[in-house]
Amino acid sequence: MEKFVIKGPCKVKGVVSVSGSKNAALPILASTLLFNKTVKIKNLPKVKDIETMINLLRSLGSKISFSQNKRIVKIKNYKIKNFFASYSHVKTMRAGILVLGPLISRYGLATVSMPGGCQIGVRPINYHLSGLKKLKMNYKIKKGYVHANAKKIIGSKIKFPKISVGATENLIMAATLANGKTILKNCAIEPEIKDLVNFLKSAGAKIKWTGKRTLEIYGVKSLDSTSYSVMGDRIEAGTFCIASALTQGNLEVCGLKPEIINTEINLLKKIGAEIKTKKNKIIVKGSKKIKNLKLLSTKEYPGFSTDLQAQFMVLLCKAKGRSIIKENIFENRYLHCAELRRLGANIIVRNKKAIILGGANFEGAELMSSDLRASVALVLAAIAAKGKSIIHRIYHLSRGYENLDKKLKKIGVDIKKIR
Ligand code: EPZ
């Protein structure tokens, strides 16, 4: 199995461009099942999860052709004849559940594998199912699959009991071709959801934000052909900004509108980094002294992102003084703590909080990746550590970071990928 060998410490410097957003591209790709005309999607990241989604769509009958550089796909969903999304596709990429909404809305039929849990949590889909039921989807769960059917998806009023990115996305897609009007309240408002809405509107969908977390959707008979470029990856951008703040670096992070990670930018300023923002770039200069944060809690967008929690924790390990991180979105997202301790971090996990005692001098070690974001946190720590680190099971990283080793090498990191 491939691993990374990283020799530190080093200061990252120069310019890095983020790839297209995995978490925007996945729902947009799933939503192409709503179309009976050709769709072109650009700026796709070359990561494993996108490959898995493409394979899932092809297994349903999508005709998909890639451009030379594999960042552009042309998708023809005229002849979907299979409505079975298998466990093999969904088990490694939980976003596979996002084909349920479009399939049931366009065809009235879908058998989709339950996503199953993962390292960071149980990952239930009860809000997806209860919302779709309100739109007249019938379903039963048998042998780990959702067996769903609907005579016709009918618009309705739905208020999500809890903010859920995936449930919001599934309901937006199902309501797009529904009979009549759907109102969705207490929606997640991550930028990736706005990207999905903008994509569907570019094809003639009648969707509009009528409140901060409220969507109004009038079902249409069919969608037009469209060509759309996926937004830049804000989690990748945040990861590189943290890398610069961590290593007293001087980095220009390009490819996204800085304001979509305002919360994280303000936090980096609070811990002492110097940040300038321009139209499509963020310039981060790390300071020698990293300040601690009394309490950092993850929240739904626009709050501090759970997908940057592990990366930020590495920063706070180096801060002067004690910090506390509270993970509020997932029930088990502290897997990186044990591995960071192996590098010399001083972290206690108690009562669902991580208490970081700060002042760590990381020393290189052998490390084991777990979930996607915990793995990239280990890479950051290895870059800041003195000596050699070996990071095993880096396949977790290739799910969501395109050419990570090449991008890091280009900004001054001594990193090699070995078998
Ligand atoms: C999306 O996952 C992202 N994945 C996650 O990124 C991200 O961490 C998460 O949103 C939160 O921002 C993609 O976009 C592909 P949720 P999703 O539904 O949709 C509970 C990454 O690293 N919940 O907002 O699964 C759930 O258990 C990944 O790129 C229910 O209880 O997240 C969790 O505790 C990791 N019932 C919370 O809500 C439901 O029906 C948030 O989940 C749905 C969710």
pLDDT tens-digit series, residues 236-281: 999 999 999 999 999 999 999 999 999 999 999 999 999 999 999 9
Per-residue pLDDT tens for 4-52?
A: 999 999 999 999 999 999 999 999 999 999 999 999 999 999 999 999 9
Res. 198 pLDDT band, cuts 50 70 90? very high
pLDDT of residue 135: 98
Domains in the chain, ordered, with CATH?
3-19+232-418 (3.65.10.10), 22-229 (3.65.10.10)
Among the atoms of ligand 1, which is closest to the Cα of residue 95? 15
- In this structure, the residue with its CA closest to atom 4 of ligand 1 is 23
Instruction: Record the tokens describing residue 136, joined without a space.
Output: 């007249």
How many A from CA of 398 to the centre of ligand 1? 19
- pTM here is 0.97
Among the atoms of ligand 1, which is closest to the Cα of residue 235? 29
Res. 398 pLDDT band, cuts 50 70 90? very high
Residue type, 98: L
Per-residue pLDDT tens for 96-135?
A: 999 999 999 999 999 999 987 677 887 899 999 999 999 9
Ligand 1 in contact with 176 (CB < 6 A)? no
Annotated catalytic residues are 118
In the predicted model, what is the mean pLDDT of residues 396-416? 96
Ligand 1 in contact with 63 (CB < 6 A)? no
Per-residue pLDDT tens for 143-180?
A: 999 999 999 999 999 999 999 999 999 999 999 999 99
Quote the percentage of the chain above a pLDDT of 90: 92
Ligand 1 in contact with 23 (CB < 6 A)? yes
Ligand 1 in contact with 303 (CB < 6 A)? no
pLDDT of residue 81: 87
- Crossing angle between the packed helical segments 234-246 and 372-384, to the nearest 10 degrees: 20
Res. 341 pLDDT band, cuts 50 70 90? very high
H/E/C letters for each residue in the chain? CCEEEEEECCCCEEEEECCECHHHHHHHHHHHHHCCCCEEEECCCCCHHHHHHHHHHHHHCCEEEECCCCCCEEEECCCCCCCEECHHHHCCCHHHHHHHHHHHHHCCEEEEECCCCECCECCCCHHHHHHHHHCCCEEEEECCEEEEECCCCECCEEECCCCCHHHHHHHHHHHHCCECEEEEECCCCCHHHHHHHHHHHCCCCEEEEEECCEEEEECCCCCCCEEEECCECHHHHHHHHHHHHHCCCEEEEECCCHHHHHHHHHHHHHCCCEEEEECCEEEEECCCCCECCCCEECCCCCCCCHHHHHHHHHHHHHCECCEEEECCCCCCCCHHHHHHHHCCCCEEEECCEEEECCCCCCECCEEECCCHHHHHHHHHHHHHCEEEEEEECCHHHHCCCCCHHHHHHHCCCEEEEEC
- Of 109 and 68, the one with more pLDDT: 109
Per-residue pLDDT tens for 307-317?
A: 999 999 999 99
